Amino acid sequence: MFRNIYGLDLGTYEIKVFDKKRDYIWKEKNVIARKDKDFLYAAGDEAWIMFEKAPENIEVLFPMQGGAIAKFNDMQCLLESLLKKERLFYGGAEYLVAVPTDVTEVEKRAFYDLVYHSAARAKTVRIAERGIVDALGFGINVNRTEGIFIVNMGGGSTEISILAHGGMVMNRLMKLGGEHLDQAIQNLVRHHMDFLIGRRTAEMLRQDFGIFEDATCTTINVSGRNLRTGIPEHRDIPVSMVRAAMKNPLKECVSEIVAMFERTPPTVRTGIEKNGICLTGGLANLKELSTYMEESTGLTVKTTSRPELCVVEGLQKIIQDKRVYRELTYSLLDGEYKWFR
């Protein structure tokens, strides 16, 4: 009997799934809404619509934080709900999960348990290092390329990976992503204008203004709350304020990239100087981010038309190639992971 295989990329703000049987990739927001702290009211995109708009008795939660599972039960409930919604609830299927390298074994085990002990009734669950999967999705031959520098900037974390000849040389997971830029924008607007804006509004400002691209407008009119009067109103937010807010978080990220590059072995470093930085993740869509990173690091920065899908497209390539599947995936119940039994 044919057994289906699913590839899961569990991002902080989006879940991406590859379905081998249908040869199809789908994605949903990684968010859940609970009513009266218990009843599952909505999940995925439906719950995201309610974010910052829900009544007091409905709580909107993000089960993933900083690239790791923060609320296991909520995450399991969300995954099962989305699989049912997409009619992917076939018993006995195999699952391949992309997991950050720079997390503890306990956190890796949580990714495994999330799927294996869910109502999805998984036959097997295998793990792949996200940095390597990311490079495959970018279109790189990881086994034959010496010196690969992957920077995956997502909604809640940034994963920096240096690869060579199919193996991980160095890896660093930073709790810095789109949400931190949005929080910085919110804080600066609040401090300088006594004006409170929501995170979704901050995200819209970030996406519209970008880093330092010539903007078609110098301000954007948004709704918020006047902190002096407590009355809702509209204000013009200047582009200079938005970009100033993003400066420090981005500078921190660049500093870590430069520090890791300086610690790279000479032979691998030569390959990186030739190949440059591969920028992936949802935040890579931020206007002129690649230009900013080029000027800040002195390295060429490349990205793709859909950088947010690099990991799930890498999972797709692994699943569709049996040899690569055997080489680049493993089970937490095999080899050195037998103690988990």
In the chain, which residues have pLDDT < 70?
A: 1-2, 86-91, 119-120, 213-216, 334-341
The β-bridge relationship of strands 5-10 and 14-19 is: antiparallel
| Cα→Cα distances 231→182, 194, 234, Å | 22, 12, 10
Q: Are 92 and 227 in the same domain?
A: no
Q: Structurally, how many domains does the chain consist of?
A: 3
Q: Are 85 and 202 in the same domain?
A: no
CATH number of residue 212's parent domain:
3.90.640.10
Q: Are 252 and 234 in the same domain?
A: no
Nearest to 263, CA basis, from 130, 134, 162: 162
Q: Are 189 and 239 in the same domain?
A: yes
Q: How many CB atoms lie within 10 A of CB 19?
A: 20
Q: Are 77 and 102 in the same domain?
A: yes
The residue written with tokens 């719950």 in the block is 47
Q: Domain end: 245, 279, 300, which one?
A: 245
* 221 Cβ contact list (under 8 Å, min separation 6): 234, 235, 236, 237
CATH number of residue 61's parent domain:
3.30.420.40
Rg (CA), the chain: 21
**pLDDT tens digits, one per residue of 143-196:** 888 899 999 999 999 999 999 988 999 999 999 999 999 999 999 999 999 999
Q: Domain end: 223, 245, 267, which one?
A: 245
Q: Are 48 and 157 in the same domain?
A: no
**pLDDT tens digits, one per residue of 54-71:** 999 999 999 999 889 999
Q: Are 283 and 304 in the same domain?
A: yes
| Distance between CA atoms of residues 310 and 25, nearest Å | 11
Nearest to 131, CA basis, from 328, 263, 291, 319: 328
Q: Domain end: 224, 245, 266, which one?
A: 245
Domain that holds residue 190: 178-245
Q: Are 257 and 334 in the same domain?
A: no
Q: Are 171 and 102 in the same domain?
A: no
* Structure tokens belonging to residue 239: 């582009």
Length of the chain: 341
| Cα→Cα distances 329→7, 38, 68, 325, 326, Å | 12, 36, 19, 6, 6
Q: Are 149 and 111 in the same domain?
A: no
| Distance between CA atoms of residues 126 and 116, nearest Å | 10
Q: Are 289 and 162 in the same domain?
A: yes
pTM exceeds cut of 0.75: yes
* Structure tokens belonging to residue 72: 């296991």
| Distance between CA atoms of residues 112 and 107, nearest Å | 9
Q: Are 160 and 182 in the same domain?
A: no
